[in-house]
Structure 1
Amino acid sequence: MKKLTLIVVSMLSAVLVLAACGADAGGSGNAENYPSESITYSIPFDPGGQSDVEARRQQPYLEESLGQDVMIQYKPGGGGSVGWSELIGKDPDGHFISGINIPHIILQPLANDDTGYQTEDIVPAAIFQATPIGIAVSKDSDIESLEALVNKAKESPGSITVAGSGRYSGHHIALLQLQDLAGIDMQYVPFDGAAPSIQAFLGGNAEVIFGNSSDLIKYEDDMNILAIGSEKTFKPLPDVPTFKELGYDMTPGIDRGVAVPPETNQEVIDTLETAFLDILDEEGVEDEMYNEGFEPKRMGHEESLEYIEQKTEEYSRILENVEGD
């Protein structure tokens, strides 16, 4: 009998050990010991872009605060959708995270039923940066203000060409929103990326451009920037009014953050939220962002969720208005 009892006890112990190992390997993992291995930080774009630049800045700070190696990988394709489709299928243990961009993660599912993910699948841990989008004309243009541009567009509907990066992108939605608020119609000319759109505009192939703040700063001497999409005066462009200051309730921009797979443990999300937002307190980091044309942003998990919901409602209304025309 003693021998049988020992066998049963040994079997139960083995089962419990296996169950514990299984719990740590899948699901939400062991949040108390997080992170227990290196973290893959996926960038759903090509190397060298703005998302990559920020991830490289964050990498050493994350490794120090989390105590693990942070490996940056690139998963370009579909304007980010390939990478975000991969994210939602990963184990929710916090060891695979992905950079996210707004409005991309909202507009893609709204405009296309086959993106491979839905906005609600994306679980943000934090939003840490923004690239405000501004509107500009060439230096030799007779348009000297946003009001003058709106008046000209009203006089000649559809005659003004506007360069931007992609369709159903941050630039495109900025144009749609301005047209909706101002009651005007302009002709959008999409290019395959921000750099080609800037070069086309500087080459005289479009009268107006919606551009990223980083590009507008770089080519500031070659254009007249009429408005910028920041909430308040944008530090690197102190003389440029915001859209809001000019009477248009819009803050176009590209927000960057980090997300985890669905069903990730809240403690893991909290750990990542703290790690990413604490970087903004490191000496010189915010100044570096401003110098590069970016805007520091501080949104934790809950605030990011609310922000994405707010932007989803905002963009849905704009697209409904366009489709209804």
Structure 2
Amino acid sequence: MFRNACSSSVAIGIGAALGLALASGAATAQYPERPVTYVNPFSPGGECDIAMRMIQPKLEERLGVDVPIEYHEGGGGAVGWAHVADQAPDGYTIACFSIPHIIAQPLARDPGYETDDLELIYTYQSNPQVLVVRDDSPYENLEDFIADASENPGSITVGGTGTASGNHLGAVRLMQAADIELTWIPFPGTGPTIPALEGGHVGALMTNSTVAHQNSDKFRALAVASEDRLPFMQDVPTFRELGYDIQEAIHRGVLAPAGFPDEAKQLLAEHLDEITGELAPRMEEMGHFVEYLGPEESAELVERLQPEYRQLLDDIGMLD
């Protein structure tokens, strides 16, 4: 974990980095000397948006400059990440990321960017996927849901963020494991999925554990795609204990264009590590698992997951 991996020599180096020259036109500048744009690739009200709003003021306080949030939504985050990939790697554009999105999207189609066009700075939280329905749904449990899907292939609509996203791939894993057909309904972010299920516009959501947890008064969680039951949802069984070996989670953090200056990357990672520690109790209360992964650990996470998602997409005929 990044918080435990930082030595005093690294800390000294970070302090010295403030006086070092940065690349790409910032050769004589102290970093940062102007606002750092924080891109949200999803619609307002979703998980990235909520986390960014929590992080933004704390990051501004530490950097001493404004960190304005810009929305570049669409394509399940692809529009925003393509925009970031096109920016100069000068230290002044960062964005919220979601894994597996930034891995799976370029494998499944041409989203306007490649995974290698982006450089991960820090990973601060993750969420297992949860299958939820309305509390008045006829599906009392996962068995009811799968039985109906088996008898009426494609009749159940399941909503979530984008395609080749954590939500989507969670639903794909369920279809594979249970040998059923569901109709996937993609949304531009998590925010719009909640009223869509409330209004009966979709039959279910494959969504983040935070959504299931925070809406437990109106949604019924049928199963969670984690190894063990969640501490804040102890009454919800895992897919695995119900006979379906499904695990899927979304990891969230901050990235930048590839080639981002090392000094800026390390400084931001250190600030984000401190901020994550401060926000951890609040994140956990919301239903997140807090992570403390710096640049190297985040890159290792991507490297570890790429073969898994390549195989999954190949199995379902989505590999580009």
TM over 0.5: yes
**How far off is 1:278 after superposition?**
1.7
Q: Deviations 1:291-311 (Å, cap 9, x if unpaired)?
A: 333332222212211222333
CA distance in 1, matches of 2:155, 2:205: 14
Question: In structure 1, the residue corresponding to 2:287 is in which secondary structure?
Answer: coil
Name 2:292's counterpart in structure 1.
298
Amino acid at match of 1:239: D
State which of 258, 265, 273 in structure 2 corresponds to 1:262.
Answer: 258
State which of 189, 194, 202 in structure 2 corresponds to 1:198.
Answer: 194
Judged with a 3 Å threshold, the aligned counterparts in structure 2 of structure 1 residues 249 and 28 are, in CA distance, closer, same or farther, namely farther
Q: Deviations 1:52-72 (Å, cap 9, x if unpaired)?
A: 32122112322343x421422
**How far off is 1:139 after superposition?**
3.4
Name 1:41's counterpart in structure 2.
38
Name 2:57's counterpart in structure 1.
60
**How far off is 1:313 after superposition?**
2.3
Judged with a 3 Å threshold, the aligned counterparts in structure 2 of structure 1 residues 203 and 52 are, in CA distance, closer, same or farther, namely closer
Q: 1:105-116 to 2 correspondence within 5 Å?
A: 105-113=102-110, 115-116=111-112
Name 2:267's counterpart in structure 1.
271
Q: 1:90-105 to 2 correspondence within 5 Å?
A: 90-105=87-102
Judged with a 3 Å threshold, the aligned counterparts in structure 2 of structure 1 residues 304 and 37 are, in CA distance, closer, same or farther, namely same
Higher RCO, 1 vs 2 (CA within 8 Å, ≥6 residues apart): 2
Could you list the runs of 4 or more consecutive aligned residues of structure 1 that deviate by over 6 angstroms after TM superposition?
Answer: none
CA distance in 2, matches of 1:119, 1:43: 17
Q: 1:133-282 to 2 correspondence within 5 Å?
A: 133-141=129-137, 143-154=139-150, 156-191=152-187, 193-230=189-226, 232-282=228-278
Question: In structure 1, the residue corresponding to 2:317 is in which secondary structure?
Answer: helix
Is the counterpart of residue 76 in structure 1 residue 72 in structure 2? yes
Amino acid at match of 1:312: Q
CA distance in 2, matches of 1:269, 1:244: 39
Aligned length: 298
Aligned residues of 1:201 and 1:209 also touching (Cα < 8 A): yes
Q: Deviations 1:252-273 (Å, cap 9, x if unpaired)?
A: 3332211122122334322222
Is the counterpart of residue 312 in structure 1 residue 306 in structure 2? yes
Is the counterpart of residue 27 in structure 1 residue 24 in structure 2? yes
**How far off is 1:242 after superposition?**
3.3
Judged with a 3 Å threshold, the aligned counterparts in structure 2 of structure 1 residues 250 and 267 are, in CA distance, closer, same or farther, namely farther
Aligned residues of 2:161 and 2:186 also touching (Cα < 8 A): yes
**How far off is 1:121 after superposition?**
1.0
CA distance in 2, matches of 1:90, 1:244: 42
Name 1:88's counterpart in structure 2.
85
Q: Deviations 1:56-91 (Å, cap 9, x if unpaired)?
A: 2112322343x4214223131333333322322333
Q: 1:282-293 to 2 correspondence within 5 Å?
A: 282=278, 285-293=279-287
Aligned residues of 1:42 and 1:74 also touching (Cα < 8 A): yes
Q: Once the two structures are aligned, what percentage of the paired residues are identical?
A: 37
Amino acid at match of 1:294: H
CA distance in 2, matches of 1:46, 1:197: 11
Judged with a 3 Å threshold, the aligned counterparts in structure 2 of structure 1 residues 227 and 88 are, in CA distance, closer, same or farther, namely same
Question: In structure 1, the residue corresponding to 2:122 is in which secondary structure?
Answer: strand
CA distance in 1, matches of 2:94, 2:88: 10
Comparing 52-61 with 172-181, greater Cα deviation is found at 52-61
CA distance in 1, matches of 2:187, 2:31: 42
CA distance in 1, matches of 2:101, 2:238: 22
State which of 113, 118, 126 in structure 1 corresponds to 2:114.
Answer: 118
Where does structure 2 lack aligned partners over 5 or more consecutive residues? 1-19
Name 1:12's counterpart in structure 2.
none
CA distance in 1, matches of 2:130, 2:28: 42
Structure with bigger gyration radius: 1
CA distance in 2, matches of 1:192, 1:60: 25
Aligned residues of 1:39 and 1:68 also touching (Cα < 8 A): no
Question: In structure 2, the residue corresponding to 1:172 is in which secondary structure?
Answer: helix
**How far off is 1:220 after superposition?**
1.3
Amino acid at match of 2:122: A
